[in-house]
Amino acid sequence: MNADRTAWDRRSVVPVIPPIQRRKLAKVPFVELADGRLQGVVSSGSDIARVYVSSIAAKTHGFNCSTNNNRPCGGLGSRPCKHLVALATEAVLQYGFERVARYLGVEAGDGDSTGGDLIRVLKGGPESIPAATVFSRFLRHLAYLEVPATTEPIADLQWFPATGAVR
């Protein structure tokens, strides 16, 4: 194992991105740690065509939630709304508590392990975060499912072995 560690920068195939865990997507179809934010999309509980765009900035912990049409979320006050709690909860399922806490720069206590715990210790308040950017990243995410499959061999994928049976 030590020999493997030292060879990390001499290997062509190394796992760079930690594996993510499978989770139910119905409520929160999209979560990502990107652009210095935990951001994602939460499906509305009442209107099937509406989604909420929720995000929490790393370091400052400023947060925001609005609909995809840029209407502010009614539940958002000085503290995060239920969509932000759902976002944090699903992010913890997907990436693990450690990774999300580290990305946000949250100082978690010993017993903290859930998305609710993360939300509780946020030190920021409501902040203007561009919902359009996040929503367009979600649309781009969905667009992958429309790219047709191919049977042309992709040699480039030799650098990306599937892993994950070791859990």
**Range in contact with other proteins (rule: CB under 8 A) among 46-54, 76-84, 108-116, 117-125:** 46-54
The yes or no reply on residue 14 touching other proteins (CB under 8 A) is yes
Distance in angstroms (rounded) separating the CA atoms of residues 114 and 49: 29
Other Cβ atoms within 10 Å of 96 Cβ, number: 16
Distance in angstroms (rounded) separating the CA atoms of residues 51 and 25: 13
Distance in angstroms (rounded) separating the CA atoms of residues 80 and 83: 8
State how far the alpha carbon of 142 is from the alpha carbons of 12, 81, 99, 116, in Å. 30, 25, 24, 27
The yes or no reply on residue 47 touching other proteins (CB under 8 A) is no
**Range in contact with other proteins (rule: CB under 8 A) among 26-34, 70-78, 112-120, 123-131:** 26-34
Q: What is the per-residue binding string for other proteins in 65-104, x denoting contact by CB under 8 A?
A: ---x-------------------------x----------
End-to-end CA distance of the chain: 17
What minimum distance in Å lies between the beta carbon of 116 and other proteins? Answer: 21
CB 64 within 8 A of CB 72: no
Q: How many residues bind other proteins (CB under 8 A)?
A: 61
The yes or no reply on residue 107 touching other proteins (CB under 8 A) is no
CB 100 within 8 A of CB 88: yes
- CB nearer to other proteins: pick between 44 and 114: 44
The yes or no reply on residue 132 touching other proteins (CB under 8 A) is no
The yes or no reply on residue 140 touching other proteins (CB under 8 A) is yes
Binding site for other proteins (CB under 8 A): 1, 7-20, 22-26, 29, 31, 33-36, 43, 48-49, 51, 68, 94, 138-147, 149-167
